A = this chain, B = another copy of it.
Amino acid sequence: MLVAERWQRIVQLVNERGSIRVTELSELCQVTEETIRRDLDRLESEGKLMRSHGGAVSVKEAQSEVPFLERETAHADFKSAIAKEAVSHIREGDRIILDASTTAWYMAKLIPDMQLTILTNSMKVALEVSGKEKIQVISTGGLLSPKSLSYVGPLAERSLDMYHVHKLFLSCKGVHIQRGISESNELQALIKRKMISIADETYLLADHSKFGMQSLTQVAAWPEIKHVITDGLTNKEDVERIREKGVHVIQLDKE
């Protein structure tokens, strides 16, 4: 039997059974366990399977082993980099708003434990910062939106009315050079408009995928947004045109 054939057979067997022992493969392929081990090492380095003491497990099986917290990995690196930059704009003593976006959630994870008041409509953000002793967390209540675990509706808006903050860190669905930012959900748009109205300064957190998109509901025009933080893949011309509107745009380096 050809070597390549054996490799193929091993991968197939592992995938069929989910897992298999070296001993068994040795018998099935009629080669010594040593050879099987060498095959497995090689196949693992090619990502075809995962090694385990005594045998191998299929990649698929091994992946389902990590079903915990959080699905979104797309753009995660960009979001996380943007979040990091945004966090560096927070000062001791600030009162800030974090919205219910993934980027805000990353921010919540990154914020150091310092004297700070955080107002949010996101349950995930609230949960994340609740462990930090010096941070005071205020949650708008409201109707709980089950998918995003965020609060919306009239109660959320009225809650915001009671406060005033220094900085707002906001995300959106679409960023348009002329028209400003937009949101796909009417309820979310209302909340975001309210947030902008009670904040001194608004930081828009938007990765490159948001640019050029326009969504259902307009949230704000450019003069209302003071800062934009975006990643290195955003079109430089777009960035320049937004700067011409008087917005302070921070573009991160590529990678």
Contact = CB atoms under 8 A, between A and B. Distances in A.
A127 B155 contact: no
B57 A4 contact: yes
A204 interface: no
A223 interface: no
Copies in the complex: 2
A140 interface: yes
Contacts of A131: 146
A138 B143 contact: yes
Contacts of A159: 141, 155, 159
Given A2-B57, A12-B65, A63-B127, 14 more contacts: A2-B21, A2-B52, A4-B53, A8-B62, A48-B66, A123-B123, A123-B127, A137-B143, A137-B146, A138-B141, A138-B142, A139-B142, A141-B159, A159-B159
A126 B127 contact: no
Among A121, A131, A159, residue most surrounded by chain B Cβ atoms (within 10 Å): A159
Contact of A57 (B5, B53, B142): B5
A139 B154 CA distance: 12
Interface in A96-140: 121, 123, 126-127, 130-131, 133, 136-140
